[in-house]
Structure 1
Amino acid sequence: MKKILTIKSILILLLSLNAVVILFQFIYVTPEPEIYNYDFPQGKMTDIQAIQQLENTNAEGWAEGNGAKMASVFTSDADYVTFNGEWLKGNDEIATVHQELFDGVLKGSSLANRNIRSIQFIADNIAIIHMTGAIRQKGKHEPAKSRNSIQTLIAKKENNEWKFVAFHNARIKRISLWEGMMMSFN
Structure 2
Amino acid sequence: MSTEQITALINATAAAWEAGDGEAYGANFTADATYITFVGTVYSGRDEIASAHQALFDKFLKDSVLVDDILEIRFLGPDTAVVTSRGDVGKHGSRPSKLSKVQTYTVVREADGQWRIAAFQNTKRKALMEKISFAFAPATVPAGR
* Aligned residue in 2 for 1:100: 55
Is 1:122 aligned to 2:88, yes or no?
A: no
Structure possessing the higher relative contact order (Cα contacts under 8 Å, 6 or more residues apart): 1
Tell me which protein shows more helix as a share of its residues.
1
TM-score normalized by the length of structure 1 = 0.65
* Aligned residue in 1 for 2:101: 149
Does the CA-based 8 Å contact 2:18-2:92 persist in structure 1? no
* Sequence identity (%): 35
Tell me which protein shows more strand as a share of its residues.
2
State how far apart, in whole Å, the 1-side matches of 2:109 and 2:101 are: 25
Q: 2:115 aligns with which of 162, 166, 169?
A: 162
5+ residue gaps, structure 1, are 1-43, 181-186
* Aligned residue in 2 for 1:85: 40
Aligned length: 129
Q: Which amino acid aligns with 1:98?
A: H
* Aligned residue in 1 for 2:138: none
User: Which 4+ stretches in 1 moved above 3 angstroms?
Assistant: none
* Aligned residue in 1 for 2:22: 67
5+ residue gaps, structure 2, are 134-145
TM-score normalized by the length of structure 2 = 0.82
The Cα of 1:143 is off from its aligned counterpart by 2.1
